[in-house]
Chain A
Amino acid sequence: MSTGARGFGLAALATSIVLSAAGQLAMKVGMRELHRVGIGALASADWVALGPALSWTIVGVAAYAVSMLAWLLVLARHPLSYAYPFLGVSYVLVYAVATQWSALAEPSSPLRTFGTLLVVAGVVLVSATGAHRQPTS
């Protein structure tokens, strides 16, 4: 694989990871807004009240969609079992921002922090081992 192609693959991987975390957080803010105005606003199609909820949700889903397209480019170059675990980085991003950002301010507990770290350790172990041979193209 040429250096340029590898750089492109890494850029796609980084884009995918950051946007997938941002998408989760924006979708959660959207659902919080929906919770705030009440789900009845959906039934009565109160678009003014639904504005913030819909905006955040659409932004979140769009970020998620773009992260998926970048992911497709990554998958064209790497085995799934190699590429997928790198998404583990996004667990750290989501956890850090969800608990530290005032818009969400989710409670963190030692159990949840430790569990999340185990998840990250697991996905790093899955991705760092096995020395997968790159496709020879």
Chain B
Amino acid sequence: MDELLLASAILLLAAAQVLQKRGAVRHLAGGPGPGGWRSALVSPEILAAIACLAFGTALWLAVLYRMDVSKAFPLLSAGTILVLIASRVLLGERVSPARWGGAILVAIGVALVAAS
């Protein structure tokens, strides 16, 4: 139950990151002008990001109800790995081998915290 809640929250919050980036690039790249903000806030990417955030945050509160924040928050960094994969696959950003190495360190750290 705890694991399922945690995994769902991490997935939704990571998805929100990727959606925010797509929205920011498409609507705010020229700087935060008034028109840019309006079109960004009502864009499908940002609305979907807000939905993922709202639902993910509700699940996250349920996680915090059951778990120490000093344990739960490092586990959230598993989202970093998901975001790195998504930034390569969905956003087409280049990811260097060293960055993948960092992601592996994060994964080991997450495993240790999960075991603690």
Contact = CB atoms under 8 A, between A and B. Distances in A.
Interface of B is mostly: helix
Interface string A51-63: 0000001000100
A6 interface: no
Nearest to B87: A81
Given A119-B113, A129-B96, 14 more contacts: A27-B60, A28-B64, A28-B69, A80-B93, A81-B84, A81-B95, A112-B113, A119-B110, A121-B102, A122-B108, A123-B106, A126-B102, A130-B94, A130-B98
Interface of A: 5, 24-25, 27-28, 30-31, 34-35, 39, 57, 61, 64, 68, 71-73, 75-76, 79-81, 84-85, 88, 90-91, 94-95, 98-99, 104, 106-109, 111-112, 114-127, 129-130, 135, 137
Interface of B: 17-18, 20-21, 23-25, 28-32, 40, 53, 57, 60-61, 64-65, 68-71, 73-74, 77, 80, 83-84, 87-88, 91, 93-96, 98-99, 101-116
